[in-house]
Amino acid sequence: MGDIQATLQTLKGQRSRIDAAIAALEALGGKPKAAAPAAAKAEKTEKRGNKGHISEQGLQRIRAAQKVRWAKFRAAKKSSGK
């Protein structure tokens, strides 16, 4: 039980130091943490907008390569007799 109390006291001490650091940063002109997630989410969606698109020629190359891979796999499986 004593270990839990000691850990609790340590955590409370750390929390008070963290609260003081946050207050000091906010006094310097930092924004509250609650406003940051919305802005970060907007940035992520903007960055993601360019990803995930592939041309039709790119898809055709991937399909052709995959067909070759499966043909090799099937040929190997057939020759091994399994």
Residue by residue, pLDDT tens for the chain (82 residues) are 678 888 989 999 999 999 999 888 888 886 666 655 666 666 666 665 666 788 999 999 999 999 999 999 999 998 887 5
For residue 80, being part of any structural domain is answered with yes
pLDDT at 65: 97
For residue 24, being part of any structural domain is answered with yes
pLDDT at 41: 66
pLDDT at 73: 94
For residue 45, being part of any structural domain is answered with no
The domain tally of the chain equals 2
What does the block give as tokens for 71?
Answer: 């043909």
Instruction: Provide the CA 63 distance to its chain's centre, in angstroms.
Output: 29
pTM of the predicted model as reported, rounded to 2 decimal places = 0.36
For residue 19, being part of any structural domain is answered with yes
For residue 46, being part of any structural domain is answered with no
**DSSP codes joined into one string, 45-80:** HHHHTTSS---HHHHHHHHHHHHHHHHHHHHHHHHH
Range of the domain at 13: 1-33
Contact 8/15 with Cβ under 8 angstroms?
A: no
What does the block give as tokens for 21?
Answer: 């650091």
